[in-house]
Amino acid sequence: MDYVPITNKDQKEMLAKIGINSIDDLVGDVKLRCGKLNLPPPMSEMELVQHVTALSEKNKIPRYFVGGGSYNHYSPAVIDHMVLRGEFLTAYTPYQPEVSQGTLQSIYEFQSYICLLTGMDVSNASLYDGASALAEAALLSSSHLRRNHVFVSKGLNPRYLQVLKTYCEGAEIEISDKIDEKTACVIAQYPDFFGNIEDLQTLADEAKKAGALFVTCVTELTSLAILKPPANFGSDIVVGEGQSLGIPISYGGPYLGFIAVKQDLLKKLPGRIVGLTTDDKGNEGFVLTFRAREQDIRRERATSNITTNQALLALSATIYLAAMGKDGLINVAKASYKQAHILHEKLKEVGFEPLNDKPFYNEFVVKATKPSEEILSSLLKKNILGGINLGENKLLVCCTENNSAQDIEDYVSAVNE
Amino acid sequence: MKLIFDYDENITGHVPSESIDLDLPKHLMRSDLPLPNVNEVDVVRHYTNLSRKNFGIDLGIYPLGSCTMKYNPKVNENLARLNGFSQLHPLVPASFSQGTLELIWKLQQYLKEITGMDEITLQPAAGSQCELLGLMMAKKYFKDRNEERKKVIIPDYSHGTNPATSSMCKFQTVTVQSDTRGNIPLNKFRDVLDSDVAVVMITNPNTLGLFEENLSEISDLARSNGTLLYCDGANMNALLGIGKPGEQGFDMVHLNLHKTFSTPHGGGGPGGGALCVRSFLADYLPVPRIVKGDEKFSMDYDKKKSVGKVHSFYGNFGMLLRAYSYIMSWGSNISRVSKNALLNANYLQSLLSDVFEQPYNRKCAHEFVLSSKNLGARSAMNIAKRIMDYGLHPPTIYFPLIVEEALMIEPTETESKESLDNFASVLKKISDELVKDPDFIKKSPHTTKLGRLDEVKAAREPNLRWLPKFKV
C-alpha cells in the first residue's frame, strides 16, 4: 500500500519551487545517513489482511473465567460505529475548541460519569491505564503533602503494585508498611484483587488521623453500579481502570486509566481537564482548562509529564454508559454478581474451599484439593480459562454477564472429572 | 447545547434484565445511581451530532506541528477488530497467544532495524511514558555503577515532556539555549557537561523542525563523560530509512507509534510507545520481555535488573497491531514516507517564507516554524482562529516557546500538492486580511458553530462536570 498522494509531476514542480533537484538534497543536514532498511517487501491491502488474519488465527480464544484487571463484559454495537467516525477517530487533542466541541463535550460527559460512579468532585480526561493512574495518585499525594512514604493495603492487584513500585523508585518515594506522619497516602483496592468488598471507613479514618490522603483504586468499574461509591468512605483520590465499560480485552490494551479527586486537589490533577465556558456571543461551549498545570507550558514544574491520554477509550466508555444507562449497568453488575455466586456455590458443592472472608462481587478465591495447574489444565481442555493461579491450590475465579449457565456447568463438570 | 444527561428517561435493552436480590450488607451498597437511561436512537444521534462538531484528518489538512497528523489507514482499524486479537485476554497462557506474541516480536525486530538499536520494549502507552521509563532506567544504571548523577541536560528546543519527566524522576534539569541555527552550541554544552550529568535528552529533528548539526560532537562529548544520550524520537517521521538514531550516537530512543506509524490520535489518545536501547541497557527494560524460542514465543519475567513495569499488562497492544500493519504495508519502501514528509514541509515552507518571518534560514525537516510577529501581538492566535473560517485546521501556535508568535507547521507526507497550495493561499489571504481589516480577523472564527471561547472564564468559574439535581 502507498499513502502518499504526491504525483511525479507534482514532485517536479515542488522541487523546482524549493530550488533543488532531488529529494536527496533535503536530507543533506542529516550527517549520519543510514543504508537501505532491511524490511520485508511492501504488501497490498489484500496481502496485509490475509497476513494479519493468519496471525490472529494462531491465537485461541477460550471461554473466560478470569479477570485480574481485565474483564470480559458485553460491549454494545453502537460504540464501534460511533468511535470509528473519522471526526472522532482522526482528531488530535482538542487544542482549538471551536473545531473540537465533539471531543470536548464527550470528555466533559466522561468526567461527569466518572464523578457520578465514584462520588468524587472532579475527574480528569483519562490516564493511560489503571496501574499508571494509581502511580500518578501516589505522585500527586507525595508532592501535595511533601511526604515521601506511601502505604499499600494488602489486596492490591500485584501488577498494579509492581507499576507503583517502579514509579515510586523513580520518584524517590518509599513504600512503607506503617501509617505515620511520613505517609503521603494510604492505598486500598475496592473491591480488592481477591474480590473482597471491604468497608474502607476504618482505613480511611486511619489515613486521616495521620494527615495522609486516602486513595481508592477500582479496577472493575461495573461494581460501582451496586456498591457504595468510594467517596462515601472519605476517599481523597479515586483511580482505576475503565476497561470494563465496553472496551475490548485486547490483550491488555489500550485500556482506560481514570483519576478523580476532591475539589481541593483539582489544581494538582495530572493530565487534561475539560470545562464549560461561553463564547464571545454568550453561547455555551467547552475548552481544555487549567492548562497551566501541563508540561507544554509549565515544563519542569508541571504536575505530570502526561500528554497523550486515552481519549478515544474515554469516548467508548461514555457511549457505553449512555447506551447501557442506569438500568443496563445495574443489570450487568447484578448478572456478573449472580454468575460468580452461582459458580462459587457449585464449586463449594464439589469440594472447593471458599477463602473470601468478606462479601465478594464477581471475583472470588477458592482452594482446590489438588494443584491449581491440574485444575486449570483440565479446564483448558474444555476451552475454559478457569482463573488465575494463586499457588498453594488456590484459584482466583471471575464471572461476568457474558458467562452463560452452560459455561458454568461445563466449568463445574470439568473440575469434577 | 444538550448533554447526554439531559435526555428524558427511556428504555434501554442491551443486556437482559436481572432481578436477583443482592446478598450484600446495606452499608456497602449504593443507595442511588443517578445515570440517565437513554434510548439507543438518541444515543446514536447525540454522538453523531457531536462528531460533526469536530475536525479530523479525514476532513482535511491537520498541520499541527510536532503531532504528525497523517492519514490513518482504514484497513488497520478492521485488523485491530479481528476477534483473534480483540477477544484475547492478557492472562491467557502463551499457547493461546502465539499470533499476538509473534506480531509483537516482529514489530520489535522492525523497529530495532528502523532505529538501529539493539533492544526494545513496547510496554509504554505513549512517548512521555517512554521518557519516564528511559530516565528510570538511567537512574538505576547509574545506581548500579555507584554513581549519583543528579542532572539532565535539555536544550530549550525540546518538548515540555522532557523537563517534566526529568522532574518526575527527581533529576535537576539544566537548560541549554540553542543558537541562531537552532543547534546546541558546543561551547555552552561543554560548560554544563560535568560529572553530575546523567542524561542528555535531544530531540532530533528538534521542535524547530531542524536536524541537530552538532550531533556527532555532542555524542562524543557525552560518551567520554559517561553520560547517556537520549533521543526524543517524536519527530522520527523525518528519519525513516534516512538516519538511524542508533548510528547517530544515541543510547536510547523512543518512538511515538501514534505519530510516525499512523495509529489514530482519537482526540488525544490512545497512543503507543516504543523505547529502543543499546544492549548495555537491555537488562533494565521492563518485564515481561517477549522471547522467541525454537518453536514458540513466550514471556520472560526473570530479569533481576529490570526497573519493573510501567503498564497494567504489556502495553497498548491494539495500537501495536495498527503500527505493525502500517509497517507491513510500506515494508522496504518506508523511506518514501519520510522523504515525502520532507518534500511537503519544504515545499510549504517555500510557499510561506515570504509571507511570514522564517526565524531560522535553513531547509527544514518534516516541519517548520514561522513567526507572525511582523503582523502584531497575538497574531498567531488570530491567524489560527481565522484559518477555521476556511474549513482548515490551524497549525500548532506559540510552541516552541523560543519563537515569538510561533506558527509550527507539519503537513506530513499524506497531503497532496493541491492541499498544500490551498493551505498556503489561505495563509497568504489571512495575512493580507490582518493588515486590511484587523478587527474582523481578531473576532474570528465567524463561520464555526461557536465563536472564540472564553478560557479565562473556564478557569475562574470552573464547571467541570454535570451535577444531578440531588446529592449522590
Give me the domain span that covers residue B217: 88-332
Check whether residue A296 and residue A334 sit in a common domain: no
The answer to whether residues B322 and B347 belong to one domain is no
Q: Is residue B169 part of a domain?
A: yes
| Any domain includes A412 | yes
Q: Are residues A282 and A343 in the same domain?
A: no
Residue B261 lies inside a defined structural domain of this protein? yes
Q: Are residues A313 and A333 in the same domain?
A: no
Q: Which of A48, A106, A295 sits opposite B75 (nearest CB)?
A: A48
Cβ neighbourhood burial of B279 (10 Å; 0-12, 13-18, 19+):
exposed
| Residues B192 and B277 occupy one common structural domain | yes
Claim to verify: residue A85 and residue A135 sit in the same structural domain: yes
| Residue among A99, A279, A323 minimizing CB distance to B14 | A323
Three-class secondary structure assignment of chain A: CCCCCCCHHHHHHHHHHHCCCCHHHHHHHCCCCCCCCCCCCCCCHHHHHHHHHHHHHCECCCEECCCCCCCCCCCCCHHHHHHCCHHHHCCCCCCCHHHEHHHHHHHHHHHHHHHHHHCCCEECCCECCHHHHHHHHHHHHHHHHCCCEEEECCCCCHHHHHHHHHHHHHCCCEEECCCCCCEEEEEEECCCCCCECCCCHHHHHHHHHCCCEEEEEECCHHHHHCECCHHHHCCCEEEEECCCCCCCCHHHCCCCEEEEECHHHHHHCCCCCEEEEEECCCCEEEEECCHHHCHHHHHHHCCCCCCCCCHHHHHHHHHHHHHHHHHHHHHHHHHHHHHHHHHHHHHHHCCCEECCCCCECCEEEEECCCCHHHHHHHHHHCCEECCEEEECCEEEEECCCCCCHHHHHHHHHHHHC
**Based on the domain organization, do A278 and A383 belong to the same domain?**
no
Contact (CB<8Å) B24/A226: yes
**Interface contact A280-B102, CB threshold 8 A:** no
- For residue A297, tell me if it sits in a domain: yes
Contact B313 A313 (CB under 8 A): no
Burial class (CB in 10 A: 0-12, 13-18, 19+), A163: buried
pLDDT digits (tens, 9 = 90+) for B223-248: 999 999 999 999 999 999 999 999 99
Cell of B235: 519527530
What integer pLDDT is reported at residue B183 of this predicted model?
96
A123: CATH: 3.40.640.10
Q: Which residues on B lie below 8 Å from A171 (Cβ)?
A: 168-170
Residues A347 and A237 in one domain: no
Same domain, A300 and A362: no
Inside any domain, residue A43: no
CATH of the domain at B136: 3.40.640.10
- What stretch of H or E contains B120? strand B119-121
Residue A45 lies in a domain: no
pLDDT at residue A298, rounded to an integer: 83
Pair (B143, B207) in one structural domain:
yes
Substitution target in B29, B35, B298, B472 with the highest count of A β-carbons within 10 Å is: B35
Looking at the domain assignment, is residue B156 inside a domain?
yes
Is residue A273 located within the same domain as residue A198? yes
Average pLDDT for B7-36:
94
Q: Are residues A259 and A346 in the same domain?
A: no
Domain end among A317, A336, A364: A317
Q: Which of B332, B360, B378 is the last residue of a domain?
A: B332
Domain stops at, among A282, A298, A317: A317
Tell whether B72 is covered by a domain: no
In a domain, A385, yes or no: yes
**Quick one: which of B62, B406, B373 has its CA closest to B207?**
B406
Same domain? For B351 and B252 the reply is: no
Cβ–Cβ under 8 Å, residues B3 and A109:
yes
Q: Which of B269, B300, B332 is the last residue of a domain?
A: B332
Q: What are the average pLDDT values for consecutive 10-residue runs of chain A, which has 417 residues?
A: 96 97 86 91 98 98 98 98 98 96 98 98 98 98 97 97 98 97 98 97 98 98 98 98 98 98 96 96 96 83 88 98 98 98 98 97 97 96 97 97 97 93
User: How many angstroms separate the CA atoms of B305 and A303, rounded?
Assistant: 29
Of the candidates A92, A231, A318, the beta carbon closest to that of B265 is on A92
Chain B CB contacts of A116 below 8 Å: 33-35, 468, 472
How many angstroms separate the CA atoms of B2 and B22, rounded? Answer: 35
The interface residues of chain B toward chain A in range 367-386, judged by CB-CB distance below 8 A, are: 384-385
pLDDT above 70 (res B470)? no
> Which of these three, B298, B317, B332, is where a domain ends?
B332
- Whether B456 maps to a domain, the answer reads no
On whether the pTM is more than 0.95, the answer is: yes
Q: How far apart are CA A143 and CA B376, in angstroms?
A: 40
- Is residue B318 domain-shared with residue B368, that is, in the same domain? no
Shared domain for B185 and B216, answered yes or no, is: yes
Q: What is the CATH number of the domain that holds B343?
A: 3.90.1150.10
Q: Which of A63-77, B277-291, B457-471 has the lowest mean pLDDT?
A: B457-471
> Average pLDDT in the B24-40 region?
96
B141 and B285 both lie in a single domain: yes
Q: For residue A249, give Cα distances in angstroms to A120, A138, B409.
A: 27, 26, 37
Same domain (yes/no): B322, B400:
no
* Alpha carbon separation from B223 to B200, B227, B276 (Å, rounded): 10, 6, 18
Residues in B touching A19 (Cβ below 8 Å): 350
Q: Are A360 and A303 in a shared domain?
A: no
Using pLDDT thresholds of 50, 70 and 90, give the confidence band for residue B464.
very high
C-alpha distance from A39 to closest chain B C-alpha (Å): 5
Q: List, as ranges, residues 58-117 from A with C-beta within 8 Å of B.
A: 58-62, 64, 66, 68-70, 72, 74, 76, 78, 80-103, 105-109, 111-113, 115-116
**Is residue A216 less than 8 Å (CB to CB) from chain B?**
no
Is residue B317 domain-shared with residue B345, that is, in the same domain? no
CA–CA separation, B383 vs A183, rounded Å?
A: 50
Q: What is the mean pLDDT of chain B?
A: 96
Grouping H, G, I as helix, E, B as strand and the rest as coil, residue B434 is helix
Report the domain count for chain B. Answer: 2
* B166 Cβ under 8 Å from any chain A Cβ: yes
**Contact predicate B189/B221, CB 8 Å:** yes
Whether the per-residue pLDDT at B307 is higher than 80: the answer is: yes
Let me know whether A303 and A340 are in one domain.
no
Q: Which domain holds residue A140?
A: 78-317
Residue B348 has pLDDT above 60, yes or no: yes
- B338 and B424 together in one domain: yes
| Domain boundary residue, one of A295, A317, A339 | A317
DSSP string covering B215-236: HHHHHHHHHHTT-EEEEEETTG
Same domain? For B326 and B338 the reply is: no
Joined grid coordinates for residue B11? 428504555
Q: Kindly state whether residues A370 and A410 are assigned to the same domain.
A: yes
Do B224 and B148 lie in one domain? The reply is yes
Q: Does A320 touch chain B (CB under 8 A)?
A: no
pLDDT at position B472: 42
3-state secondary structure of B212: coil
Angle at B147 between CA B142 and CA B152, to 5 degrees: 65
pLDDT of residue B471: 43
Split into its structural domains, chain A has a count of 2
- Residues whose CB falls within 8 Å of the CB of residue B194, separated by 6 or more in sequence, listed in order: B151, B225
- Write out residues 383-442 of B within 8 Å (CB-CB) of A: 384-385, 388, 393-394, 396, 399, 413-417
Is A240 part of any domain? Answer: yes
A57 touches chain B (CB under 8 A): yes
CATH code at A412?
Answer: 3.90.1150.10
Mean pLDDT of B392-397: 98
Q: Is B416 in Cβ contact with A305 (below 8 Å)?
A: no
**pLDDT for res B185:** 98
What does the alpha-carbon distance between residue A218 and residue A333 come to, in Å, rounded to a whole number?
14
**Chain B residue whose CA is closest to A295:** B160
> Is A10 within a domain?
no
